[in-house]
Every structure is written in C-alpha cells, then in structure tokens.
Structure 1
Amino acid sequence: MVNKDWIKVTPALSKPVLRCIHKQGFKTMTPIQAAVIPLILSCKDVVAEAVTGSGKTLAFVVPMLEMLLKKGKESPLRKDFVYAVVISPTRELATQIFQVIELFLKQPELSHITLTLLVGGRPIDVDVESISKGAQLVVCTPGRLEDLLSERKQLNLAGRLKELEFLVLDEADRLLDLGFSATLTTILQYLPRQRRTGLFSATQTKELQDLVRAGLRNPVLISVKEKSTISTPLALENFYVIVEPQDKFLFLLNFIRNRKTMKGLFFLPTCACVDYWADVLPLFIPDMKMFAIHGKMKQKRHKILEQFREADNTILLCTDLLARGLDIPEVEWVVQWEPPTSPAALVHRVGRTARGGAKGFSLLPLLPTEDSYVPFIKTNQKVELKDWRKSTDEIKISQKVRDKVLTILHEQQKKDRGILDKGQRAFVSHVQAYSKHECNLLLQLKELPLGHIATSYGLLKLPLMPEIKDEHKKQFIGPKEEIDFNSIPYKDKQKETSRLQKLEEYKKTGIWPSKKKKKMVQSQPWQQAKQNKEERKERKKKRKEAQKAEGKRGKKRRAVTQEEIDELAADVALIKKLKKRKITKEQFDDAFDVNK
C-alpha cells in the first residue's frame, strides 16, 4: 500500500519510492518537503531554509532517487559514473544521510543504484577502491571529496562526474562556518554546469548568499517556518534558569538525577570539558549510561554514536560537533553548560530534540551576570526561553550537599593525576572559549567570577593563567588540607613511571625536564590551515631562489658556523632559566665565567 498523502502532493513519484516512504512511516509530508520536492523534480535549482528537524533530508533524497530512476529508464546508468553527490559538513551527518538513502535502496526496483560514503578518519585508499567498484550516488564530506578530486589522478574522479545530475549542499551555512568556502569553490570547478543543485540550511547568512550566486543558476528560494514568531519546532519547550556560578554543576547534577528516565544531549563548551566531565559525572549517576563525543576523536565517533542511539536512560556529552543535522527521535532533553559562542548555534543545539513533531525540551543555565541573554536571544534568534523556576523548585541546594559533592571531586583528583590534569585543561579551555563569544557585550569574561567557576569544577588548585586575579583567588574553595601535588600519582602506570623519573631528575637539578615547548597556534579551519601551509612553502621557495640568485651575483657573506649557533642558543637558554628562576644567580655567573 502506497501513501496517498504523498501522491496528492507529488503525483510524479514512482511506486518503489512511495512504498519505501510508507514502510518508514512517513505518513504526511512536512511543509519543506511539499515545497521543495516538486520544484527539484521540475528541474529547478533550490535554496531551502527551514527550522531544524523539519524533514530537509527527505526533501532532497526523494527527488534525487526519482531523477536517477528516470535517467535509468532513458538509458542504463553506467557503473563508472557518479550521477548525484551530497556534501555534508561532518562525518556524523554524512553517515546519517547515507543510512537514510540505504533504506530506499533496499527496494528491489532501486537496488541496482550503487551508493558509497566518502568521509575522513579512514585510509583514502578505501574510498578510492569503493569508487572504483562503482558509485552512482556519493555522500561525502568536502575535505575528502576535494582530496579525491585533486590528488588521485589514477582514479580520475573528475571524469566520472561529467554526467552529474544532482548536487546537494546540506547544512550549507555550517559548511562555511567550518572554513570550507575555498574547498567548495574548488569542488564546484570540477562539476558540470548543466546540473540541478539543492542548497539546504536552517539559517541564511551573507556568506551563504555568496555561495548561492557562485554555484546555482536562477535558484528558487524557499523559506518554511512553522510560525513567524519562533525559529524552533512548535513541539519544543525551551527553558532557562539563573544559578549561582559555584552551584552550576550541582544544579545540573540534581536536574539529571530527578529525571527518572531520560535520553538527552549535554552540550559542553570544549573538547577538554567533555573529557573531564565524562570521567567525573558517572561517579554521581552510576545508574545512567554515559557517552562522550567530540571532534578530536577520530575512529571512535561512529561507534559511540550508534551505542547512544540504541541505549535507553542515557546522556551523551558532546560539543557543537553534534549541533547540526543529528537525527535521533528518542532524544527528549537538550541540556547546555552555557550559551554557545554563536547565537545561531543555540537554534541548532535545541533542534536535536522535538524531531519530526515529537515533544522535546531544552534547558540553559545562566549566571546572574548573563540574565540579559534571555531577551537578546528572543530578539536575535526568535527563541523564547521560559523561566524554569516557574515550573519547579529544584534550585535549592544545601551546604551539606555542596560539601559532599566537592569532597568527591577533590578525592578523585587526589587518586588520579590524569583527572587532575583534565580538570585543569577543562577550566582553562572553558575560560578561553568564553572570551570568544560573538555576543561579548552581554557575555563578558571580565564579569565572570572565575574563582566560583573553578569551585564548581571541583579543582584542587587554580591554574596559572593571566585571567585569574586576586579577587578570584578569594572566591575559590579548594581542599581544606594542604596537598603535596608531587605525591599525586597517575593511574596509568606508564605515565606514572615517566613522571617519577622526571621528578627524581628535578630533585637533583632543580629543573623540571620537559620536551621543547611547541609554539601555541590558534586553531584554524581545515581549509585555512592548508592554504597557510601552501603559502609557507611558496615563501620558502622564493627565499631559496633569491639566495641562489644572490650567490650568482658574487655577493658573499661570512658563513655562521654551527658551533656559533649552538653557543648562542645555550646562552639564550641560560638567560631564560634565570628569568624563570630555574637557576640561581651564582649558577648563571659561573656558566658565563663572570667570577673568573
């Protein structure tokens, strides 16, 4: 039995596609599907904007398969050609789209269409082999597709794309946010102009308009919103709560404990925060399954996400890596540690719940200094946050509970230096991330009570960083007894053996042995980092050519010997040690033979 509602809206749909739609339980079309599918089937380029969770994936998968079926009837599809490409910003979203298409290709009438997934995190030769066997439909991330187009001459992927029928840029604004603008420009140069293009996004930006002008021909602009006053699904209720900074973790802990059954996403500011709380949080909620995922994980991400999908009464600790496109219908709650760096990211985060018309909730704890964020986000993103205090009285936290939780956090760090290090890194990265907020007029780092926040992290000591002032040191509540930090061991035996060896050397020399410190470089988008690398190579090449030309003109310079360079480096190292008080004035004078 086929779905009559879909037939009424799009009578051109074939029976195999309709049967799969019916089997998957898609009884009625969403507004974005009803608007976009007929346009794509009539060979129009489309730019579609719709709230998250509105069914954008099906809006391009259905017409894509219809186009391939129609072309296959005119002449058999060649195995060595790629007829449709879907580009997605992250591996997780690309994998999700791949799985949706796989469901359709299980129909006997569609099983002849070959499909492949091209993403990072695995050897590129695997993807080369996959395409060589035949891939008429490709789902990919932009970086991997560009590598295959530009560096694999024996594959000749550009030649396989000359019959391309349909290109989809999913979550296009996120593609640009991640720095893939130049990559997309490169990819578009390899693709034929005579193609259909669909660009799908939850928000419109100026950069997105530039991409539209570059990659689409006379596109039809579709903007579907459920209500003019909101930008999130109707079934989603968004809450905020004002909490004291030292009580934020305690409040969130009580909130999670008081949900008898809960499947939720917990968004944290940085990868380091995810690592720390993933170690600490299970101690307080042993009955709940806890998963963690962030962008620095490579091979594990897919496996962790699948485990979370299958689990009940569970929480996934994550970064904004999962703020886009992730579709897990069972997610009931989205909890956030603090506002995201970008106001638009809030819309995407909370959109991970209330998918497909299901009911969902989100909660955002705010500090007293951040209360102006509520009216700001309503004006800026049309997201109305309700006061959680009007629906519950869970905010009351006794001093006894504070002391107990703080003691547990301190004890864990005393037992394992690994957790101590993670806590320090988490706090430092959190402060650094806060300083990069786009709405920094409202969320100002100088107003943060960093001592209280460090207390909520359960740190044993405040890290050495310029942001920490005397007032913050007074706010901080650490362990009551004095601690010999050198005596705290690593649980990891290999790390502990290495640490003890260094400690022994430190006791003898007064200088802690360490590797040469790498210059700290601010994180960059992938494409920008690649471009900078190429520019450095080009500058180096020009310098060599200039030196060569100068040598030919007969200009000679006295060569500096390696012995002189080593001597200068040793002198500079001694001066630095003296400044850092790693050596005494007497040791410095002896090294320079001052007293002789």
Structure 2
Amino acid sequence: MVVLILGISILVATPGRLLDHLKNTSSFLHTNLRWIIFDEADRILELGYGKEIEDILNILGSKQQKSVGKGNTTSQISEVQRQNVLLSATLNEKVNHLAEISLDNPVMVGLDKKIELQLTHQDVKPMEFNGNDILGKDGKLLSSSTEEYKLPTQLLQRYIKVPCGSRLVVLLAILKHLFEKEPSQKVVVFFSTCDAVDFHYSLVSGFQWLSRQQSDTDVKQLFLKCNTFRLHGNMNHEDRRTTFHAFKTEKSALLLSTDVAARGLDFPKVRCIIQYDPPGEATEYVHRVGRTARIGEKGDSLLFLQPVETDYLPGLEKHGVTLTEYPLQKLLDSFPLFGIRYHPKNFVSVDTHPWVVSLQKALESFTSSELKMKKIAQNAFCSWVRAYTAHRGELKGIFMVKKLHLGHVARSFALKEQPSLVNKSLQKQTKKRMRDQKQTNVSKKRKVGKR
C-alpha cells in the first residue's frame, strides 16, 4: 500500500486484485498511466476474468475515450497518450472482443513473416463465447478444429505408443538414454497433476538399480544421474521461484512439471519436451512444445500415448501437426541386462521385454519398501485417474477410463496392489479423518456448553 502511495513505474497484478485497488484505494492514482499490457489474454479470459477486465478498462478510461461521469462529478481522462497491448498465443472470439473494446486501430504483430494485420472493427455487442473460433490471417473467424499451427521447422516431433503398465519404465529408459547420450542438456517432462509430479520427483531422486548381476563389491547408484527439479501450482511461491531460477541457470537438468510451465516461462537451451500425460486441446500441445526449439535452436518433442489413445493424433493432424513414431523397440534393445542384449525375436511385446520386466520389479520393490513413497504413489494414482476423467468435448471419446486396465495404471505408479486395494486404503484414511473431525467438533461443542 505504501509503495502505491509513493508511486511506482511498473505494476504487475492479477485482474481481481488490480480491480480491487482501482475501486477501493483512493491513493492509487493512474493519471500518468502510459501502458496497459494484458499478458496471456486468452488464458485470462478462459479463467473467467472477462468481466473484471471490462471493469478495469472502464475505470482506466480505456474502453471509451470520452469523459466518464461518476455521480455529480466528472473526471476528465488524462490527455497522456496511452498504449494498450494484448499478448496471446492464440486468438479466439473472446480475445477478439476484448481487442475491439480496448484497442484503437489495433495491429496484430507476429514473429512469423513479420505479420502486421489490421483487425476489422464491428459494432461491439454482448455475445456468448464458446472459444471454438479463432482469427485467420485474413482477419476472418476460422474454426479452431481446422486452423493450422505453424511450429518451428527445427522442432522434431514424435510420439511413442506404450502399454499402460510399461509407461513408467519406458519414461525412465528414455530419460536415461537422453542424458547418457548428451549429458549437457535440459529436458522438461509434463504431467497432468501435482501429485504425479511429486511421485516421479521422489522416484527419480531416490531410485537406485543395477542392470547386471550384483556382487559383493557392487554399489548401487542412482538410475538417473542428473539434477532434477519439480514445478507445480501447489508449491509455495518461494519454492517455485527458486526452482525457476535454478533450472534456468543449469546447463544440464531435468524438470518435472504440470502445465504451470507450459506458458509464460522462458527456459533457455531446453533440448527436449516429453509430454508424459497427453495435453487436452491442440493449443495446449502447442504451448508445451513451445518451451523448446526457441529462436532458431534445435529441439525435440515426444508425446506418450497408450494404444487406446492413438486417435488423438488425427486431431493434431487437422492443425497441420504431424508426428512420427519413436523407435521404442530399438531403445529397449540398447539396454543390456546381466550383460546380455536382447533382440525382437526373443519376446512378443514391450511388457514382456526382459529389461522392462526387471526394471518394473525393482521399481515396485523400491516403492513398497518405503511407507512414505508408497503413500505418494497411491495419491498420484488416484489424482491421475480423476484428471483422466476430466477431458472435455471430443477428447472424452479418446481418453476413457473404462478403456483402461486400472491394474496396469497402478503399475505405472510402481504399485503392486490392485487399484481396489489402493482405493480401500484411501477410503479408510478418509473415514478416519472424518471420525477425528467429528470428535473434534463434539469436543468444541462441549467446551462451549460448559462456558
């Protein structure tokens, strides 16, 4: 508050907090305001802040360039020239509407072929938005289901088809291969939930394994020898900030994250993006892979899909995004087990590959041997299933829980127990918390009665 009174050069705020100060803080003066910047405008509107943005524009005098009456007094808008800027990776109908009410003779500026497009103006009318339309290069509305996305040509995009029960082993195999092949590189892995990030972070940070027969002189080492960081919305601000700066300055590191890192963060020299949990809409895919292949740098992206999820690929192809299949078979054969290299003729599927079977057993043993680790895995399993059921629209027909074998899902979190046992365990814990809460409430009532 004191800082606002003294005056500041730059203010960064959320829409709700800014609107609160504009309405209720009398010492918050903005007559010399020169710039208003709405970063990630599409995301702000998706989160339901459209009304707050319009109120902010009204108060700042940016919606209508004329005198604004307030009661019996009239406040003349400052003659200082003002520049309004909307920054958005995607342009849908909501963003277009916001541009119409906040920008005077707007120009769209892009990095691709120095695009400068004069937006067409129409009378602003209240409208219902479904977010399914975006502006094409000619200024006309196009369906988001057909609009092509232009991604960097130096970005190598691939997908990997993995059975559910082998997902965890394959992820670790790919990470191991990447860091052994090129130790000095940065990799970002995207997950669907905060609990999943915590589980994989704990696993990678502590899991040790020997790929050969152990002798008395052998000492187990970390399976992945790299600096590992995590980032998600449930972390406090200071921890997130520390992670951001640490990963940004490292030359070689692994970041496990939710979509909190998919927008607005610039991590230099990220070589590979792994989407372990598939994104939702195609725009989310674009935002994720946008963390690599930046400013002319080379980059790789890898999308994990289960066999029942491959119908997701045609949806990307509608936007001009074509992925080639990753050679999983070749990767698995490159890892020796007990000094022996296996070849395709020796097994039928990924699940039966000796190296996969051996590593899966070791992972399950590691998780079950520590009570804390097991609980983290159980929480991650449950939150992952909840997130999987949250897909909307056409994606519901692709990502369907009833198509999955939940026992295999449990294996992907290194759990030996069947999901029913995991659920029963969590149900017991929930009932216990409810009983404890009731007892606490009864005790409080008794104390109040005695008074």
Same fold, TM exceeding 0.5? yes
Q: Kindly indicate which of the two structures has a greater share of residues assigned to helix.
A: 1
Q: Using the alignment, how far apart are the partners of 1:512 and 1:167 within structure 2?
A: 48
Give 5+ residue unaligned stretches, structure 2. Answer: 66-81, 116-146, 208-222, 334-349, 447-451
Determine the structure 2 residue equivalent to 1:180.
Answer: 49
1:394 corresponds to which of 321, 331, 338: 331
Amino acid paired to 2:313 = V
Amino acid paired to 1:273 = A
Q: CA deviation at 1:289?
A: 0.8
Deviations 1:82-139 (A, max 9, x none): xxxxxxxxxxxxxxxxxxxxxxxxxxxxxxxxxxxxxxxxxxxxxx233334312223
Determine the structure 2 residue equivalent to 1:266.
Answer: 189
Contact 1:164 1:192 in 2 (8 A): no
Contact 1:341 1:433 in 2 (8 A): no
Q: Using the alignment, how far apart are the partners of 1:272 and 1:196 within structure 2?
A: 42
Q: What is the SS of the residue equivalent to 2:379?
A: helix
Shift in CA distance, 395/385, structure 1 to aligned 2, threshold 3 Å = farther
Q: Aligned ranges for residues 188-199 of structure 1 at < 5 Å?
A: 188-193=57-62, 195-199=82-86
Q: Using the alignment, how far apart are the partners of 2:317 and 2:311 within structure 1?
A: 10
Determine the structure 1 residue equivalent to 2:126.
Answer: none
Q: CA deviation at 1:247?
A: 1.0
Q: Using the alignment, how far apart are the partners of 1:137 and 1:173 within structure 2?
A: 22
1:200 corresponds to which of 87, 97, 106: 87
Contact 1:248 1:456 in 2 (8 A): yes
Q: Percent identity?
A: 30
Determine the structure 2 residue equivalent to 1:447.
Answer: 403
Determine the structure 1 residue equivalent to 2:79.
Answer: none
Contact 2:406 2:419 in 1 (8 A): no
Q: What is the SS of the residue equivalent to 2:156?
A: strand
Q: CA deviation at 1:386?
A: 1.7
Q: What is the SS of the residue equivalent to 2:87?
A: strand
**Structure 2 residue 90 is the aligned partner of structure 1 residue 217:** no
Q: CA deviation at 1:405?
A: 2.9
Contact 2:247 2:267 in 1 (8 A): no
Contact 2:388 2:401 in 1 (8 A): yes
Contact 1:275 1:422 in 2 (8 A): yes
Q: Using the alignment, how far apart are the partners of 2:373 and 2:52 within structure 1?
A: 39
Q: Using the alignment, how far apart are the partners of 2:159 and 2:61 within structure 1?
A: 49
Shift in CA distance, 164/459, structure 1 to aligned 2, threshold 3 Å = same
Q: What is the SS of the residue equivalent to 2:397?
A: coil
Q: Aligned ranges for residues 398-409 of structure 1 at < 5 Å?
A: 399-409=353-363
1:329 corresponds to which of 239, 244, 268: 268
Amino acid paired to 1:393 = K
**Structure 2 residue 7 is the aligned partner of structure 1 residue 134:** yes
Shift in CA distance, 465/131, structure 1 to aligned 2, threshold 3 Å = farther
Q: CA deviation at 1:384?
A: 1.8
**Structure 2 residue 158 is the aligned partner of structure 1 residue 231:** no
**Structure 2 residue 290 is the aligned partner of structure 1 residue 351:** yes
Contact 1:327 1:355 in 2 (8 A): no
Deviations 1:301-336 (A, max 9, x none): 111111111223211111011111211121111111
Determine the structure 2 residue equivalent to 1:148.
Answer: 21
Contact 2:368 2:415 in 1 (8 A): no
Q: What number of residue pairs does the alignment pair up?
A: 350
Q: Using the alignment, how far apart are the partners of 1:276 and 1:218 within structure 2?
A: 50
Amino acid paired to 2:436 = S
Amino acid paired to 1:421 = K
Amino acid paired to 1:161 = H
**Structure 2 residue 163 is the aligned partner of structure 1 residue 244:** yes
Determine the structure 1 residue equivalent to 2:256.
Answer: 317
Q: Aligned ranges for residues 429-444 of structure 1 at < 5 Å?
A: 429-438=383-392, 439-444=395-400
Determine the structure 2 residue equivalent to 1:277.
Answer: 200
Deviations 1:41-83 (A, max 9, x none): xxxxxxxxxxxxxxxxxxxxxxxxxxxxxxxxxxxxxxxxxxx
Contact 2:169 2:360 in 1 (8 A): no
Amino acid paired to 1:282 = S
Contact 2:292 2:299 in 1 (8 A): yes
Contact 1:169 1:200 in 2 (8 A): yes
Q: Using the alignment, how far apart are the partners of 1:236 and 1:412 within structure 2?
A: 36
Q: What is the SS of the residue equivalent to 2:331?
A: coil
Q: Aligned ranges for residues 528-539 of structure 1 at < 5 Å?
A: none
Shift in CA distance, 147/461, structure 1 to aligned 2, threshold 3 Å = farther
Contact 1:329 1:354 in 2 (8 A): no
Shift in CA distance, 516/311, structure 1 to aligned 2, threshold 3 Å = farther
Q: Using the alignment, how far apart are the partners of 1:512 and 1:165 within structure 2?
A: 54
Contact 1:161 1:192 in 2 (8 A): no
Contact 1:170 1:199 in 2 (8 A): yes
Segment of structure 1 superposing worse, 434-443 or 258-267: 434-443
Shift in CA distance, 412/512, structure 1 to aligned 2, threshold 3 Å = farther
RMSD: 3.3
TM-score between the two structures when normalised by the length of structure 2: 0.70
Deviations 1:166-194 (A, max 9, x none): 21112211112233323323322321225
Amino acid paired to 1:169 = F
Q: Using the alignment, how far apart are the partners of 1:161 and 1:410 within structure 2?
A: 59
Give 5+ residue unaligned stretches, structure 1. Answer: 1-127, 469-484, 487-498, 518-561, 567-596
Q: Using the alignment, how far apart are the partners of 1:251 and 1:414 within structure 2?
A: 20
Shift in CA distance, 387/303, structure 1 to aligned 2, threshold 3 Å = same
Amino acid paired to 1:279 = S
Deviations 1:378-398 (A, max 9, x none): 20x3322122229x8215556
Q: CA deviation at 1:342?
A: 2.7
TM-score between the two structures when normalised by the length of structure 1: 0.54
